[in-house]
Amino acid sequence: MTLNLRGSAAILKNELTRFFRTAFGSIVSPVLTTSLYFIVFGAAIGGRIQEIDGVSYGAFIVPGLLMLTLLSESTSNASFGIYMPKFTGAIYELLSAPVGVAETLIGFVGAAALKSLIIAAIILVTALFFVDYTIAHPLFALGYVVLVAAAFSLFGFVLGLWADGFERLQIVPMLILTPLTFLGGTFYSIDMLAEPWRTVAQLNPIFYLINGLRWTFTGTSDVPIGVAFGMTLAFVVICIAIIAYIFRTGWRLRE
C-alpha cells in the first residue's frame, strides 16, 4: 500500500497557509512571553542563584522555556487544526477522500510540528538577547526537539478529536499541561527540592522531557538521557495507537 503524499501535501499546505496568515500574532506572543520570563526570573531569581550545576541560571532555564513553548504550541496547533474540520463539517470530506490515517497524520501533525519548530527557533534567537548560552550536543538537541514537537502534535491531534467544544480545547493545556511544565523543573533543579517534593517531582512525566532537553544543551541532567528519550518515544507510540483506534472505530468523528 502506497502513501497518498499528494493528499498529505495538500493538508500540510493548507495548515501552513493558515499559520502564515496569522504569523505576526503567532510569533509575537511567545517572543513577548519568553522575554518577560527572562526579565522577571533573571532579575528576581538570577540575582540570587548564580549557577546550577556549573551553568549560569539564565542558560539553565533556556531548555525549560523552550520546552514550555514546544509543548503549548505543538498541542494547540494540532488540536485546533483537526478540530476546525470537525466544527465546520469538513471532516466528512476528509474521511471520504482517498486519504488514510498515515497521510492525515503527516499533513496535520507535520504542519503543527513544523509551526512549533519555527517558533522554537525564534525563541532560541530571542534568548540570545538576554543570556549567553551554548548547546553542548547540537545534533541531539535538534533530534530531541523534533521528537518532542512530533509527540505533542500527536497529543494535540488526539485532544482535537476528543474535544466537542472550543472550551475543551483549553482544558487540558491550561489545567494539566502548563502546570506540569512549571512543576517539571523549568526554573529549578530537582536537587534544590527537599523530600517528599523531590520524589513527587519525579512522578511528573514532563520533568523527564525537560531534563532530556537540558542535557542536550548543558551536558548535565537530573535523569539519564536514555530514560527521557525512551519516555518520549513511548508517548509517541501511545498517541499513534489512540489515533488509529479513533479512525478505525469512528469515535468522535461520525457523531
Predicted pLDDT at 255? 58
Predicted pLDDT at 144? 94
How large is the average pLDDT for residues 108-132?
91
How large is the average pLDDT for residues 112-116?
93
* Rg, C-alpha atoms of the chain: 19
Q: What is the pLDDT of residues 41-75, one digit of tens each?
A: 766 776 667 788 788 888 888 999 999 889 988 99
Q: Are 57 and 49 in contact (CB under 8 A)?
A: yes
CB-based contacts of 158: which residues, under 8 Å, 6+ apart?
239, 242, 243, 246
How large is the average pLDDT for residues 151-179?
88
Predicted pLDDT at 136? 93
Predicted pLDDT at 47? 65
d(CA 168, CA 147): 25
How large is the average pLDDT for residues 107-116?
92
Distance of CA 166 to the CA centre of its chain: 20
Distance of CA 202 to the CA centre of its chain: 20
CA dihedral 204, 210, 213, 215 (to 10 degrees): -80
> Which of 128, 130, 114 has the alpha carbon at shortest distance from 38?
130
Q: What is the pLDDT of residues 198-207, one digit of tens each?
A: 888 888 989 9
What pLDDT band is residue 102 in, cutting at 50, 70 and 90? confident
What pLDDT band is residue 8 in, cutting at 50, 70 and 90? confident
Q: Max Cα separation, the chain?
A: 60
Cell of 198: 523531590
